[in-house]
Structure 1
Amino acid sequence: MTGWIAADWGTSRLRIWALNVGGEVTGSAASDEGMRHLTPDAFEPTFLRAAVGLLPEVGPVEILICGMAGARTGWQEVSYAAVPCVPIARPERIKTGDPRLHVSIIPGLSQSTPPDVMRGEETQIAGFLKANPGFDGVICLPGTHTKWVRVAEGRVQSFRTAMTGELFDLLGTRSTLAGLLDDGWDEAAFDEAVNRAVRSQSALAADLFSLRAAGLLEKVAPGAVRARLSAVLIGQEVASMRPIWQDQPVALIGDATLADLYHRALKAAGRDAERFEAGELTLAGLCAAFETLREDAQ
């Protein structure tokens, strides 16, 4: 029997878990209808479609959501907690039309100097700290907008965001590099290029044009330009974030493939990192946040 429902609603994807009162997963569902595909009035019907096999026929169920559902263009905007602070602030209740849905959304985190925000990653950080309560270092969360987060004493002290994944998508589909990219991937080309990128003294824009020139002047193996583009973007990002991660233990939380690329870039820059699976930590963070809801209800 479902005790409550947890959800991670990102920009491109929705993941849902049904849990019993003991916190064990009893079912799950997923949808490709992320925030970027939806208007605010479409969130509730989208959730109902995706969670149809997990919802009770009658009676209310507590639903706790992290991620972009709480953004300004999401289901309903919820607040940001300003750093330094614990990763998860008290979830905020939103209004719904279906009487079965008692929905709360976890607030994001904000930073005033330099200006920065996150939604969703704070829940992964909370899940990581639940398993590693004494961690004092940097958490890197690779993604469309990669986060570099300084954590100490159980609190997020500061963070920076790099929109590297979005740049990769834009450059690979809408720039003059797009015609040189194919669907392949050259591992050796990535490693060679990332070793150069973490030490590059050139402007990013100049290194990017060099990729175009090389693609026109040289015989390039399939997948090489795509791999080199990824390497230049990730490598220069890692190098620019050196003041954050230097002399600190680094934990990587994210999709295994992308986390591996950041791991290799960090290693090329002289820093090793331990990798963790994002889905498990997201659910652990949601469970930790649900405990605060239960405490409030008692």
Structure 2
Amino acid sequence: MNTWANWIAVDWGTSNLRLWAIDTQGQVRIERDSDQGMGRLTPNQFEAVLLTLCEGLLDPARTTPVLICGMAGARQGWAEAPYLSVPVALSALGAGGITPLVTSPLIAVRILPGLSQATPADVMRGEETQIAGFAALHPEFDGTLCLPGTHSKWVSLAQGSVSGFRTVMTGEMFALLSEHSVLRHSVGRDLAGDDLDEIAFIEGVRQAWRAPDATFATLFALRAESLLYATPPATLRARLSGLLIGMELAATRDFWEGQKVALIGAGSLTALYARALSEIGAVPQIEDGRDLALRGLCAAYPHMFEP
């Protein structure tokens, strides 16, 4: 029995990519991944990487559609896919995007667009497809989505339309402070398997929530505590995480307060956001984000490749 795909869905990130071979019944037949993310490639390398990952999946007697989301459509990627401006219905993703130049007759490639916002200026690329996947699962949702990450996204979503969003660089700030600032001598390294000091984390969240405008001026106290009181690095690391997430929640209060809130993600970071939100009065639902990009690609596919 052959393994040829009816069409192929691809989520191409900065560091990695995932590929799903979809059969004629719309089911995933094969899933593959690679570490050949956008950050490691030049534009003329994308097609070869894709064809290698598609080995054994392409019917030689036809051209197989390939629908891609994520950083392959960035300015530094395969080809830049223009942004769609909010407010926008997520169904419009399927009508946007670009067709990059390919030389192989075995594939026809389309890359989905990202989303942009004029005021305040903001962009997203890749998350919009996860959001579209969430909307496909919850078409009546009216509230706020949070996608925790290096650059967290807060998104106002109502009945499948995005009215606005905000990006917060909390994850990147945590990495910079814990790895490249003087605090690195005090907060230690994140060791797999270490348990979070939840008390210290919640103390940080509460402190930042009560006085977000003063929190930046308190960060050096973490260094001072380690020198004066030998406070354990794990405790200080948890408090730093709580301070930064608490500042983020204060800065995005206008997005989520009084709204239904859903967190899209998985693992410990999403759990931290859920714990922090619960501490200050919100009750978020958690949606595993692993396969939402695939759902978003499946929702866009009929608009891009089928009449």
Same-fold call, TM cutoff 0.5: yes
Q: Distance in 2 between matches of 1:220 and 1:44?
A: 52
Give the superposition deviation at 1:8.
0.8
- Residue 19 of structure 1 is matched in structure 2 by 22
Q: Per-residue displacement from partner, 1:233-266 (whole Å, max 9, x unpaired)?
A: 1111011100111110001101332111111111
Q: Do the aligned partners of residues 209 and 61 (structure 1) sit closer, same or farther apart at CA in structure 2, a change above 3 Å counting?
A: same
Matched-pair contact (CA < 8 Å) for 1:149–1:156? yes
* 2:138 counterpart letter in structure 1: N
1:173, 1:80 → 2: CA distance? 33
**C-alpha spacing 1:276/1:61, structure 2 compared with 1 (3 Å):** same
Determine the structure 2 residue equivalent to 1:183: 190
Question: What is the TM-score of this pair, normalised by structure 2?
Answer: 0.90
Q: Report the CA distance shift for 1:191/1:54 in structure 2 as closer, same or farther (over 3 A).
A: farther
Partner of 1:134: 140
Match of 1:193 in 2: 204
- The answer to whether the aligner puts 1:43 opposite 2:46 as a matched pair is yes
Letter in 2 for 1:30: D
Shift of 1:202: 4.2
Report the equivalent of 2:11: 8
Contact 1:55 1:61 in 2 (8 A): yes
Q: If the length of structure 1 is used for normalisation, what is the TM-score?
A: 0.93
Distance in 2 (CA, whole Å) between partners of 1:207 and 1:81 is 40
Q: Does the CA contact (< 8 Å) of 1:198 and 1:265 recur in 2? A: no
1:253 matched to which residue of 2? 264
Task: Indicate the SS of the match to 1:107.
Answer: coil
Letter in 2 for 1:26: R
- CA distance in 2 between partners of 1:46 and 1:209 (Å): 46
User: Which residue identity does 2:38 align to in structure 1?
Assistant: M
Kindly report which structure 2 residues correspond to 1:25-174, keeping only aligned pairs within 5 A, or say none.
25-56=28-59, 59-87=62-90, 88-89=92-93, 90=95, 91-174=97-180
Contact 2:67 2:112 in 1 (8 A): yes
Alpha-carbon contact 1:7-1:17 (below 8 Å) kept? yes
CA contact (8 A) 1:207 1:232 kept: no
Contact 2:212 2:247 in 1 (8 A): no
Give structure 1 stretches of 5+ with no counterpart: none
Partner of 2:244: 233
Unaligned segments of structure 2, at least 5 residues: none
The whole-number CA distance in structure 2 between the counterparts of 1:29 and 1:19 is: 12
Q: Secondary structure at the match of 1:92?
A: coil
Aligned residues of 1:142 and 1:258 also touching (Cα < 8 A)? yes
1:179, CA displacement in angstroms?
Answer: 2.4
Q: Number of residues paired by the alignment? A: 296
Among all aligned residue pairs of Structure 1 and Structure 2, give the percentage whose two residues are the same amino acid: 48
Stretch deviating more after TM superposition (145-154 or 216-225): 216-225
Look up the match of 2:219: 208
CA RMSD of aligned residues (A): 1.8
Spell out, residue by residue over 1:9-55, the C-alpha distance to the aligned partner (whole angstroms, 9 max, x if none).
Answer: 12222111111021101111112232223222232233233333544
